[in-house]
Structure 1
Amino acid sequence: TFSGALLWPYMYPWPQRPSGLVEEGFAELARRWRPILDAFGEAGVDLCFEIHPGEDLHDGASFERFLDAVDHHPRAKILYDPSHMLLQQLDYLGFIDRYHERIGMFHVKDAEFRPNARSGVYGGYQDWVERPGRFRSLGDGQIDFKQIFSKLTQYGYDGWAVLEWECCLKDAGQGAAEGAHFIRRQLIDRATRAFDDFAGVEGSTSSNRRLLGLD
């Protein structure tokens, strides 16, 4: 789901925002979402907010503020989509390290960001083809999916890897066919044992002290 955008029109810090505006906005988000999160909790279902520009929950800082407002509700989770983070110039790999316990869904979508002398993150009201930040078909952008799949495997993510296609250049049919194959090549079967188990030995205090030259 999306969080809603009570505060998005005031995202840029100029003109100065009235004192308390941000706090009231997140308090209202909490009032609206808390009963929904409770209902999801009763049903045993997580509610995953897509961290997305245009929404009040658009980065880690805004998600943390929301978590504080809903008392860190256990059902408040994240739909992780690295494409939106690349276009904001966020560290999308570090995001996994920081928030992996809250990631409940994963949109596999590619993007690229190529700023120039005319426009950057905000895009200058240009169409998608002309914008420095563009969504691309899987494998055509700049997202490091090998590292993403590695980190998600490292932290025990066991949800879906959902292909989301959005590209201003490539046809959807071609993007879907290539994307499904692309995801299949990224999937990791987690190792069931350490690669160096063959060299493992049983240890004891006395043998360890001998190895250290202490006895």
Structure 2
Amino acid sequence: MADVVGCTTVGYLRFPLVRALDGIAAAGLQNVDLAAIPDYCEHISPLADRAETNRLQSELQDRGLRALSISAHTTIASVDGYRHIRACIEYASTIGAGIVNTGTGPIGDDAATFFRHAAELVKVAERLGVVLALETQDWEMTSGAGALALLDKLGSSNVKVNLDAANIVYWGGRKAEEEIDLLAPHVAHVHVKDKRGGRGVYDFPSLGDGEIDYGKIFSSLDAVGFDGPYMIEPELSLAEAERPPAEVEEALRDPGSAYQRHTYLGTSNAEEVDADLARSLATFAALRGASYSPSA
């Protein structure tokens, strides 16, 4: 069976949605993960009215694209975060996207609120037939054992894992290759990007230029019959020497701070994102061989 391959619009965070869709379509892909990440990359709004939704559907159809997922990362324990993810689950159902991705967000001492909100989100996801995919960042999700324990507490087949191997390193300081066998049976969605350096080091090069053994990652996913979607995630940034030193230091202490400030994330040149996507796709195709088909 051919892999289901696409790209997330998050890589084009400094550009309008239509530019992201143009770049993804030009790469020969047909599948999209739409960004609805508050204060970071809001390419779509889950509160869009019918006219806005019709425009989105037209923009996708005109480029031969289909939305398979929505990335809605926020803090589940907060009231605003809960409301946002709930709206994204409902909107995903409206536009035919079967997966909503999110991190747990920081928990602190408020685990009880997290689980109360999560239980309500699970009910909505089950009712609408949408998978809530918790990304491998934040809290328990950066280790296989932690993720399995959290999924077990949530107790629903509609709650799965959005695997981001690079984030396991960035957020948790762990090797993704050592966590994948526990995670693989529970993966519903993959963000594909590479990583250099350890925890808090914001350096995500094109696939194949980093330190993650994607051969091992793909082998473990193949072993459990995972067939996608694999969403390429370009995540460019200024070189470390060009970043505010205080922010570099802060990210080492608190990896999430880079996304809160994001003054050095992304690029002002959309063609750089196009090129990064092309390089990553070429490597992905080489690694996947006969399994790769950009039109699947």
- Given the alignment of the two structures, is residue 102 of structure 1 paired with residue 203 of structure 2, yes or no? no
For 1:41 and 1:188, the matched residues in 2 are separated by: 35
Mapped pair 1:137 → 2:180: no
Matches of residues 115-134 of structure 1 in structure 2 within 5 Å? Answer: 121-122=199-200, 131=201, 134=203
What is residue 209 of structure 1 aligned with on the other side? Answer: none
Residue 35 of structure 1 and its aligned partner are, at CA, apart by: 1.4
Larger radius of gyration: 1
* Unaligned ranges ≥5, structure 2: 1-101, 240-266, 292-296
Q: Tell me how far 1:167 sits from its aligned partner.
A: 2.8
In structure 2, the residue matched to 1:6 is: 107
Look up the equivalent residue of 2:105 and give its one-letter code: G
Residue 104 of structure 1 deviates from its aligned partner by 0.7
Where does 1:1-215 land on structure 2 (aligned, <5 Å)?
Answer: 1-7=102-108, 21=109, 25-52=110-137, 55-60=138-143, 61-70=145-154, 72-87=155-170, 88-113=172-197, 121-122=199-200, 131=201, 134-168=203-237, 171-187=272-288, 189=290
Contact 1:78 1:102 in 2 (8 A): yes
Structure 2 Cα separation of the partners of residues 98 and 109 of structure 1: 20
Shift of 1:6: 2.8
Aligned equivalents of 2:196, 2:166: Cα separation in 1: 8
Q: Are the counterparts in 1 of residues 234 and 273 from structure 2 also a CA contact under 8 Å?
A: yes
Residues 106, 162 of structure 1: 8 Å contact kept: yes
Please list every run of at least 4 consecutive aligned residues from structure 1 whose deviation after the TM superposition is greater than 6 angstroms.
Answer: none
Amino acid at match of 1:43: L
Aligned equivalents of 2:105, 2:149: Cα separation in 1:
14
Displacement of 1:68 in angstroms is 4.5
The Cα RMSD (Å) is 2.3
Relative to structure 1, the CA distance from residue 47 to residue 135 in structure 2 (aligned partners, 3 Å threshold; closer, same or farther) is same
Cα shift at 1:97: 0.9
The structural deviation recorded for 1:164 is 0.2
Q: In structure 1, what is the equivalent of residue 78 of structure 2?
A: none
Contact 1:86-1:143 at 8 Å conserved across structures:
no
Question: How many angstroms does 1:28 deviate by?
Answer: 1.5
Q: What one-letter code is carried by the residue in structure 1 that aligns with 2:157?
A: P
> Deviations along 1:35-82, whole A, 9 cap, x unmatched?
111221122221101121xx3344235434533442x22211110011
Give secondary structure in 2 for the equivalent of 1:85.
helix
Where is the helix percentage greater, Structure 1 or Structure 2? Answer: 2
CA distance in structure 2 between the partners assigned to 1:91 and 1:177 by the alignment: 26
Say how many residue pairs are matched.
156
Report how far residue 134 of structure 1 moved. Answer: 1.7
Is the partner of 1:105 in helix, strand or coil? strand
